[in-house]
Amino acid sequence: MSAKAMHITSLSLLVVTTVLVIVAFSGTNGDSGVPWAKTVINFRNTECQSQELYGLKNFRQSYKNCVGQNDETIKYDSDKCDDSDTDNSQYCSKCSGAGKTVISMFSIALALICVSAVLIVMRLNDTNSGSDSGCTGKRLLVTLTLGGLTAVLAIAFATWSGDCFNALVKATKHLSDKNFVDQTTAQLMGGFAVTVVACFTAGVATLIEFFTSQSASASENEAK
What pLDDT does 85 receive?
66
What pLDDT does 134 receive?
63
Q: Looking at the whole model, is its pTM more than 0.85?
A: yes
For residue 158, the SS3 value is helix
Check: CB of residue 74 under 8 Å from CB of residue 95. no
Instruction: Give the pairing of strands 181-188 and 72-75.
Output: unpaired
156 vs 159: CA distance, rounded Å: 5
Q: Going from the first residue of the chain to its last (224 residues), give the mean pLDDT of each consecutive group of 10, the final group possibly shorter.
A: 90 97 89 90 88 94 88 90 71 93 97 97 87 78 97 98 93 79 90 97 96 60 46
What pLDDT does 198 receive?
98
Check: CB of residue 32 under 8 Å from CB of residue 209. no
What single-letter DSSP state applies at residue 160? I
CA-based nearest residue to 9, from 96, 123, 94:
123
Check: CB of residue 39 under 8 Å from CB of residue 184. yes
CA-based nearest residue to 206, from 130, 152, 126, 156:
152
What single-letter DSSP state applies at residue 79? T
Rounded alpha-carbon distances, angstroms, from residue 156 to 5, 106, 131, 167, 203: 30, 8, 38, 16, 15
83 vs 150: CA distance, rounded Å: 33
Q: Which residues contact 187 (CB under 8 A, 6 or more apart)?
A: 37, 38, 39
Burial of 41 (0-12, 13-18, 19+ CB in 10 A): buried
The backbone torsions φ and ψ at residue 158, rounded to the nearest 5 degrees and listed phi first, read -70, -40
CA-based nearest residue to 33, from 20, 44, 47, 23:
23
CA-based nearest residue to 178, from 40, 85, 53:
85
